[in-house]
């Protein structure tokens, strides 16, 4: 499946997010929602790991549903900043958030939003918010066009790169018989997957546009 799970979660989160916006976003209760949503995701994660749950559910609930509330929270937070016309720009705050993220990431350890596994939920949310602020502030810098191209097409690249990784891994194992890839194969694979980004975007973008026009 690669990273295609992200598209499912994104779709469900957008639908759920717009429902909440239409119902609550003119009410003071909207700020309580931003607190409750990550709690719901954490509760669903605990539920899927209960002893009576089947093994496939412990890996992830259907449609990655446990990830939807926490992702919806970020969509709603972004919407709130948009209507308040908040501007992201480089400042001393950016340096602070960058340093904070460097500290929080190793302290909280490994996380996986697709399961979802958060580590410490408070640290997870803190790291995600501070990291988003840092990235969006850095985006105010004028980067070379090839970097901007990767940013503009990041969703397609993220959703499809897992497929190329699987193909590359199977080809290497078939040709050389390795059960685990060596470091040189991993580095080479990274370069190949990055190189395949351009043809992937060229093929997928018009295909998606055609499908969207037909819907």
Task: Tell me the pLDDT tens digit for each residue of 80-112.
Answer: 998 888 888 888 989 999 999 998 888 898 888
- pLDDT value for 148: 82
Positions of the chain with pLDDT under 50:
none
Inter-residue contact 87 to 33 (CB < 8 Å): no
Q: How many C-beta neighbours within 10 Å does residue 56 have?
A: 10
- Domain positions in the chain: 1-84, 87-141, 145-214
Inter-residue contact 116 to 70 (CB < 8 Å): yes
Q: What is this structure's pTM?
A: 0.75
- pLDDT value for 2: 55
By residue count, the chain amounts to 215
Distances from the Cα of 173 to the Cαs of 147, 178, 179, 185, 196, in angstroms?
32, 5, 6, 10, 20
């Amino acid at each position: 499946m690669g990273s295609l799970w992200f598209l499912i979660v994104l779709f469900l989160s957008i639908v759920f997010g717009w429902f909440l916006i239409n119902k609550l976003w003119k009410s003071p209760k909207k700020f309580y929602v931003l607190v409750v949503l990550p709690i719901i995701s954490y509760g669903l994660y605990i539920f899927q790991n209960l002893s009576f749950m089947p093994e496939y559910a412990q890996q992830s609930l259907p449609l990655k549903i446990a990830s939807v509330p926490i992702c919806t929270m970020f969509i709603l937070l972004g919407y709130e900043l948009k209507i308040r016309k908040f501007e992201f720009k480089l400042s001393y705050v950016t340096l602070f958030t960058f340093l904070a993220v460097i500290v929080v990431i190793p302290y909280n350890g490994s996380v996986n939003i697709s399961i979802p596994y958060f580590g410490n939920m408070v640290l997870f949310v803190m790291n995600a918010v501070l990291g988003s602020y840092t990235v969006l502030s850095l985006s105010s810098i004028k980067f070379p066009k090839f970097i901007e191209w990767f940013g503009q097409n990041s969703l397609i690249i993220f959703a499809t790169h897992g497929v190329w990784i699987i193909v590359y891994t199977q080809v290497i194992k078939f040709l050389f018989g390795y059960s685990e890839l060596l470091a040189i194969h991993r580095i080479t694979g990274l370069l190949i997957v990055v190189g395949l980004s351009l043809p992937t975007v060229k093929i997928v973008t018009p295909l998606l546009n055609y499908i969207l026009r037909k819907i």
